[in-house]
């Protein structure tokens, strides 16, 4: 068996996580969020909405481990940190936002405990070790009705942010098509 190329791996990932986990309405909201960020160029600096500059930098570092730059752009190249900041501010509820932000803090604490330095000061191998351990936890399904933990949100938002960007969408050919417009329809009545 030959190794999977990046494009095939990305298509597989998107089929298993990310956009497939979102309802059609959430997919449309993700695209709307991406459009709201469209005024920023890829090279422009993002002024954080709800995340601190440190949290935003952590988000970028983790997102780039999830989707690193290869022959395709990486997560930060397509503005995933700004997308996640917007989604945490506007889409996640207070509990989910708290879970996400507490997870970023826990990631820093974990790096400090294991390597004697915060996540951003850790070397690439140490960072990848921590993220690989979080990634391995995704194999265990959540109990029914349970809210996603930090890393599930991080991975979902990273994939959603990446694949709703122009560059990310062009890799998969995925198109978000909203439902049909029904106009004025009387509930339960004849048309």
Cα 188 from Cα 71, distance rounded (Å):
53
**Mean pLDDT over residues 112-118, rounded?**
95
Domain count, the chain: 1
Q: Give residue 16's Cα distance to chain centre.
A: 14
Is 131 part of any domain?
Answer: yes
Indicate the DSSP class of residue 119: G
Is 187 part of any domain?
Answer: no
Is 79 part of any domain?
Answer: yes
Cα 72 from Cα 158, distance rounded (Å):
15
What is the percent of the chain where pLDDT is above 70? 66
What pLDDT is stored for residue 6 in this prediction?
A: 46
48-101 residue pLDDT tens = 788 999 999 999 999 999 999 998 899 999 889 998 998 898 888 899 999 999
What pLDDT is stored for residue 185 in this prediction?
A: 54
What is the value of pTM for the model shown? 0.70
Is 163 part of any domain?
Answer: yes
CB 78 within 8 A of CB 168: yes
What pLDDT is stored for residue 31 in this prediction?
A: 59
Is 110 part of any domain?
Answer: yes
Is 61 part of any domain?
Answer: yes
What pLDDT is stored for residue 47 in this prediction?
A: 77
Cα 176 from Cα 156, distance rounded (Å):
17
119-141 residue pLDDT tens = 999 999 999 999 999 998 888 88
**Structural domain boundaries enclosing 162:** 6-170
What pLDDT is stored for residue 141 in this prediction?
A: 83
Is 189 part of any domain?
Answer: no
Exposure string over 39-63, b if 16+ CB within 10 A, otherwise e: eeeeeeebebebbeeebbbbbbbbb
Is 182 part of any domain?
Answer: no
CB 184 within 8 A of CB 22: no
């Amino acid at each position: 068996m030959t190794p999977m190329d990046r494009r095939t791996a990305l298509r597989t990932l998107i089929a298993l996580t990310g956009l497939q986990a979102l309802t059609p309405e959430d997919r449309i909201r993700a695209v709307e969020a991406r459009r709201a960020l469209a005024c920023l160029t890829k090279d422009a600096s993002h002024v954080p909405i709800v995340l601190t500059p440190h949290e935003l930098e952590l988000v970028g570092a983790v997102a780039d481990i999830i989707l690193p730059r290869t022959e395709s752009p990486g997560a930060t190249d397509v503005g995933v940190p700004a997308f996640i900041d917007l989604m945490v501010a506007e889409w996640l509820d207070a509990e989910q936002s708290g879970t996400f932000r507490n997870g970023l803090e826990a990631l820093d604490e974990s790096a400090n405990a294991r390597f004697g330095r915060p996540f951003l000061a850790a070397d690439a191998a140490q960072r990848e070790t921590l993220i690989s351990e979080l990634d391995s936890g995704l194999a265990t399904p959540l109990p029914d009705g349970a809210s996603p933990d930090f890393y599930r949100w991080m991975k979902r938002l990273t994939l959603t942010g990446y694949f709703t960007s122009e560059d990310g969408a062009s890799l998969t050919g995925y198109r978000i098509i909203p439902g049909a417009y029904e106009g004025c329809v009387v509930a339960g009545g004849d048309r």
